[in-house]
Amino acid sequence: MAGSRFLVLGAGGLGCPALLGLLAGGARRIGVVDCDVVDATNLHRQVLYDLGDVGAPKVEAATRRLRERSPGLEIEPIPLRLDERTLSSLLAAQSADTVVLECSDQPDLKFLVHDLCGEHHLPLVVGGVQRWGGQAMAVRHGAGACFRCVFEGAPPAELAPSCAAVGVLGAAAGALGFLMAHLAVALDAGDDVAGTLIALDLRELRPQQIRPGRRAGCPGCDPHAPRPAQGPLGPACSTSAAAACSR
């Protein structure tokens, strides 16, 4: 545990609490990836930042905040716009003891990260949050079901309500981000958490655990199935983030 590395993709609503949760869970080596800047309208759920950080790159503000909390922390800010090429080289450069946390707000990117982690033999935790709830799943490719065993693909933009339109409760992002950190630390410790999807809705406070079987022909984990098709990435859930990243 002491030496393991955690790579957090996205330093927004899920990434901020996930980073705090990793620190609380004893992580000492963290990489954080984001190409966006801190936006005043997201501060309610992006709990690492304050008004003084508005306009600053998220990875810089997050790194500063986490170092203040834990001076011995080895943290690497990675200001990178993720696409298939940059993500592939980023994952190829990770040490074998890395656990990836997918905290972005892009539906297509979540699946791309999942698939490329499989190719690079890295365990990961995938999460998503919207309105009052969301879901998280730990995946170790080859051990139990993968995310594509549960969901064959990402929702198209016209059927996925945008976070900008429906909002995200700060406490929901917090609960799911901490849950993701917990799952990442547990994966790293070798606990039996891989392959279970946990869905949580703060309005009913009845977490749902789904432990699906591996699906024959799953493009995410069946070595005999064709690799999932990767098109260009669709828009982020919050369109303002997408605009910032493409600048």
Interface characters, 11-50, with Zn ion (x: CB under 5 A)? ----------------------------------------
With 0-12 CB in 10 A as exposed, 13-18 as middle and 19+ as buried, what is 229? Answer: exposed
Q: How far is the CB of 92 from other proteins (least distance, A)?
A: 23
Binders of Zn ion: how many residues, by CB under 5 A?
6
Q: How far is the CB of 72 from other proteins (least distance, A)?
A: 28
13 binds, among Zn ion, other proteins, none (CB under 5 to 8 A by kind): other proteins
Footprint on residues 167-226 left by other proteins (CB under 8 A):
168, 197, 199, 201, 203-204, 208, 210-213, 215
106 binds, among other proteins, Zn ion, none (CB under 5 to 8 A by kind): other proteins
Among 53, 65, 135, 219, binds other proteins (CB under 8 A): 135
Q: How many CB atoms lie within 10 A of CB 221?
A: 23
21 binds, among Zn ion, other proteins, none (CB under 5 to 8 A by kind): none
In a 3-state reduction of DSSP, which class is residue 203?
coil
Contact 113, 104 (CB under 8 A): yes
Contact 99, 124 (CB under 8 A): yes
Encoded amino acid at 27, one letter: A
Residue 95 β-bridge partners: none
Residues 6+ apart with CB under 8 A from 150: 137, 197, 210, 212
Instruction: Name the segment binding other proteins (CB under 8 A); options: 23-31, 68-76, 132-140, 181-189.
Output: 132-140
In the chain, DSSP finds a helix count (H) and a strand count (E) of 8, 8
Query: CA-to-CA distance for 190 and 166, rounded, in angstroms?
Result: 37
Write out the residues near other proteins by the rule CB under 8 A.
10, 12-15, 103-107, 110, 127-135, 150-155, 159-161, 163, 166, 168, 197, 199, 201, 203-204, 208, 210-213, 215, 237-238
